[in-house]
Copies of this chain bind each other. A is one copy, B any other.
Amino acid sequence: MAIITLTTDFGTDDPYVAAMKGVILSINPDANIVDICHTIKPQSIAQAAYILSTTYHYFPKDAIHIVVVDPGVGTERQAVLLITPHGFFLGPDNGVLSDVAEEALPELETIALTNPRFWLSPVSNTFHGRDIFAPVAAHLSLGAPPREFGDLIPTIATLPIPGPNMGEDGVLIGRVIHIDRFGNLITDIKQADLPRGRLFVEACGHIIDDLSSSYEEGEELLAIIGSSERLEVSVQNGSAARFLRAKVGDEVKVGVNKSSLKGGLV
């Protein structure tokens, strides 16, 4: 069955997600619709990009991913389809797909959705998720050729992709980009960014003297390479966010642990 995923800021209390699913199933009753996330902070393009970028690799290469975080709906911003080796992506051209596009290069093809033949009629000015993205995804899942949705375009909007900086003292300076339900602080520091050697991590004024290999090893406050291959700061059976009063955007530093440095919390 064709897989269509949904990532939106619509929440689950309103009728919006259900309307999109109804539109998809009216065109392709056999579509297998998977909710990725509907509780993106309203209008948070960066958060939607993060959630999408940590999930889409796990889906089949022919899955169709719809992303609707779309503060500019009804204005001149384009609606696009990205064809990549990792799947098909539909969304507004507002930067929410810039991670996806960068990773797909040079095999990326981008199409501007301009052919109203595949849309609901009339198209509202406030809900392109239902009126454009859902029906286009459904037609795509039935085998409609992508070029029929519109013309190839050379480029899409990009967001600055966050990443750590190297400080003057050889200490890597990153940031918290997501706090999960367990209170884990997920940073923009990837495993490949880490210096060699025994490391220390500094977060919110606390020093962690080494990386742990599981949540139940190490001290109460610990640093670990998490499941998205990013550096995370965690508290064993607790919430690092609450313990450290941390928030998205806070700095997290990583450096090589000199023997003179005492471990533990300071």
A33-61 near B? 1/0 per residue, CB < 8 Å: 11111110011000000010011111110
Give min CB distance, A100 to chain B, whole Å: 14
Cα of A74 to Cα of B232 in the assembled complex, Å: 15
Cβ-defined contact, B74 with A10, below 8 A: no
Known: A18-B5, A71-B237, A73-B214. A39 touches B12 (CB 8 A): yes
Name the B residues within 8 Å of A12 (CB-CB): 12, 35, 37-39
Q: Which residue of B lies closest to A236 (CB)?
A: B71
Cα of A192 to Cα of B92 in the assembled complex, Å: 30
Give min CB distance, A217 to chain B, whole Å: 7
In the assembled complex, A124 has its CB within 8 A of some CB on chain B: yes
Known: A35-B18, A124-B226, A126-B226. A25 touches B181 (CB 8 A): no
Copies in the complex: 3
Known: A42-B181, A227-B124. A74 touches B13 (CB 8 A): no
Name the B residues within 8 Å of A38 (CB-CB): 12
A residues engaging B (CB < 8 A)? 1, 3, 5, 9-16, 18-23, 25-26, 29-30, 32-39, 42-43, 51, 54-60, 63, 71-75, 124-127, 130-131, 178, 180-182, 213-217, 224-228, 232, 237
Cβ-defined contact, A39 with B55, below 8 A: no
Cα of A224 to Cα of B74 in the assembled complex, Å: 12
Cβ-defined contact, B34 with A215, below 8 A: no
Cα of A169 to Cα of B246 in the assembled complex, Å: 53
Cα of A237 to Cα of B69 in the assembled complex, Å: 12
Name the B residues within 8 Å of A225 (CB-CB): 124
Give min CB distance, A173 to chain B, whole Å: 24
Cβ-defined contact, A10 with B181, below 8 A: yes
Cα of A19 to Cα of B1 in the assembled complex, Å: 18
Name the B residues within 8 Å of A228 (CB-CB): 15
